[in-house]
């Protein structure tokens, strides 16, 4: 089994949070004027969309390598829809475009990436999220 851990802490002088894993950082905040938000970073829905799309970009490269296909440019757009109270992500739509270096149809690589995509598959299947008090 693999695991990944990130840390988040309040950014001094704001109500935003800085998240990090290793040497990589990201700022998470609410839109300006919403619950003390200052619009300093991504909101939760944007972070979810980035996780879905970022994972898929990596999976395209993994799938292509496994298939022996060279990839050029990749473009991924993700829309996360939210609804209800409490607000829940109800669906996500990903639009994917990529170029193969030999000019072949990239559909097989895109399909393979969809099969192996950890974030997309995790969301489809669901799983528990446990909250523990420190």
92-122 pLDDT, tens digit per residue, is: 999 999 999 999 999 999 999 999 999 999 9
What local confidence, expressed as pLDDT, does residue 130 receive? 93
Give tens-digit pLDDT for 50-72. 999 999 999 999 999 999 999 99
Asked, for residue 104, whether it belongs to a domain, the answer is yes
Q: Are residues 23 and 52 in the same domain?
A: no
Q: 49 and 33 in one domain?
A: no
The answer to whether position 117 is within a domain reads: yes
SS3 125: helix
92 and 81 within one domain: yes
Helix, strand, coil percentages for the chain (3-state, nearest 5): 30, 30, 40
Domain match, 6 and 29 both: yes
Q: Does residue 131 belong to any structural domain of this protein?
A: no
pLDDT at 116: 97
Q: Give domain status of residue 110, yes or no.
A: yes
With a CB cutoff of 8 Å and minimum separation 6, the contacts of 123 are 52, 89, 92
Q: To the nearest whole number, what is the mean pLDDT of the chain? A: 96
pTM of the full structure = 0.93
**Structural domain of residue 13, as residue ranges?**
1-42
């Amino acid at each position: 089994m693999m695991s990944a851990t990130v840390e988040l802490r309040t950014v001094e002088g704001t109500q935003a949070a800085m998240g990090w894993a290793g040497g990589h950082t990201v700022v998470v905040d609410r839109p300006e004027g919403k619950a003390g938000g200052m619009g300093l970073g991504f909101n939760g829905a944007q972070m979810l969309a980035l996780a879905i799309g970022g994972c898929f970009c990596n999976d395209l490269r993994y799938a292509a390598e496994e298939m022996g296909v060279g990839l050029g440019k990749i473009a991924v757009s993700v829309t996360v829809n939210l609804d209800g109270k409490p607000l829940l992500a109800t669906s996500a739509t990903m639009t994917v475009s990529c170029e193969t270096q030999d000019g072949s149809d990239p559909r097989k690589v895109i399909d393979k990436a969809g099969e192996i995509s950890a974030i997309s598959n995790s969301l489809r299947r669901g799983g528990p999220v446990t909250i523990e008090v420190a």
